[in-house]
Amino acid sequence: MYRIAQKTGVSNKRAALYRLIGIIGALVVSSIFILIAKKNPLQVYTSMINGAFGSYHRIRSIIIKAIPLAITSFGISVAFKLRFWNIGGEGQIMMGAFGAAWVALSFPDLSKPLLLLIMALTGFVFGGLYALIPAFFKGKFNTNETLFTLMMNYIAIKWVTYLQYNAWKDPSGMGFPKIADFSQNAWLPQVFGIHIGWIVTLVLAVVMHIFIKHSKKGYEISVVGESVNTARYAGMNYKKIMLQALFLSGGLCGLAGMIQASGVGRTLSVTTSAGAGFTAIIIAWLSRLSMPVMVVVAFLFGAMVQGGVYIETAYQIPQAVTSIIQGMILFFVLGTEFFIRYKIVPIKKEQEQGGKE
């Protein structure tokens, strides 16, 4: 019999070697599917890199894709630090976007700075309040937060779907089910051709890193995550800390929704979240809940998606093939993370016999 034990003392060089082996393995296995599609794997992989980094426009697209991934990862990591498994980032993004859209459509003539500030605050609050619902039930009735937050994603998505197809449907949309575009006052300004969400992301990475590592509240979140009993013994109010942490977690996701609605879509849509809430879970886990690392990993995720889109057009490859390549890379990278952090060790026969007795 065998058991899984945690590894200690794995050097950065060895961890990097494991990851490199994982990526090579993913590319080798993916090559089989590329060959089935009657394409040259080496040319396809080279084109993926070129499609991601071959021009400023492509790099710009990567950054735009990475912004919501990084900010949502920040939010998810706060909950994960508490060992509250918040799988509801997708719904919190949508609710944050909904709040920002409500402000943008209700007050289109407000001055740009004031309108954007109110949109950001509203998006943060709506996302935070949406995350408070499962946190409240967790503290009150000890519900399963994984299932609770997962199901709330679909409620948020269906709510926005209702708005888009019914209550907020644009009467001037020629029958097309869409919500009216925001006024220009509700558009995020651009810096170097990219909306200022990238500046917000970098600032948040620094602020959240300091918050988690060097603030009293961040320390309390870490202690509760390590042991609820220890936190209670130290006089910490577990339920209060959980509610505060989840409001911050959902608020950051909601802020990502506001940025997507204002800086990219410039309206509210059922596609506003674009799966960022689910992808952010992987990014947070791969980054080991380190905020600065999340920025890098989110950028690499954006590059992978951008490269996949490029080869679909360049080689007329079905989207399913690019999804397989992306999935293989993620599968192997996540697999190598397991072997970096854990090891499989045999259980001694004496222990087995003792357990049977």
β 190-191/2-6 pair status: unpaired
Write down the pLDDT at residue 357: 47
pLDDT interval class at 321 (50, 70, 90): confident
pLDDT digits (tens, 9 = 90+) for 136-157: 999 999 999 999 999 999 999 9
Q: Which of 11-15, 34-38, 70-74, 203-207 has the lowest mean pLDDT?
A: 11-15
Span 45-67, pLDDT tens digits: 999 999 999 999 999 999 999 99
What share of the chain in percent tops pLDDT 90? 74
Q: What is the dihedral of CA 9, 13, 19, 20, to 10 degrees?
A: -160
**Whole-number Å distance between alpha carbons of 158 and 175:** 20
Rg value, the chain, Cα: 22
In whole angstroms, what is the distance from residue 22 CA to residue 16 CA? 10
Tell me which residue has tokens 């993370």: 337
| Structural domains in the chain plus CATH codes | 1-39+317-357 (no CATH), 66-315 (1.10.3470)
pLDDT tens, residue by residue, 235-279: 999 999 999 999 999 999 999 999 999 999 999 999 999 999 999
Question: CA angle at residue 123 from 121 to 126, to 5 degrees?
Answer: 105
Query: Taking residues 299-310, what's their average pLDDT?
Result: 93
pLDDT of res. 23 = 87
Per the prediction, the chain carries an average pLDDT of 92
> Which stretches does DSSP call E strand in the chain?
2-6, 190-191, 194-195, 342-346
Specify the pLDDT at position 351.
Answer: 55
8 or 314, which is more confident: 314
Q: Per-residue pLDDT averaged across 109-127, rounded?
A: 98
| Residue in the block written with tokens 């026969």 | 349
Are 333 and 22 contacting, i.e. CB atoms less than 8 angstroms apart? yes
Average confidence (pLDDT) over 94-120: 98
In terms of Cα–Cα distance, which of 239, 209, 219, 46 is closest to 136?
239
CA distance 97 to 261: 6
The phi, psi pair for 191, rounded to 5°, reads -130, 120
| Mean pLDDT along residues 91-105 | 98
Q: Which of 304, 268, 281, 318 is nearest to 97 (CA)?
A: 268
Q: How far apart are alpha carbons 354 and 345 in whole angstroms?
A: 18
User: CA 245, 247, 250, 255: dihedral to nearest 10 degrees?
Assistant: -110
d(CA 75, CA 22): 28
Q: What mean pLDDT is predicted for residues 117-131?
A: 98
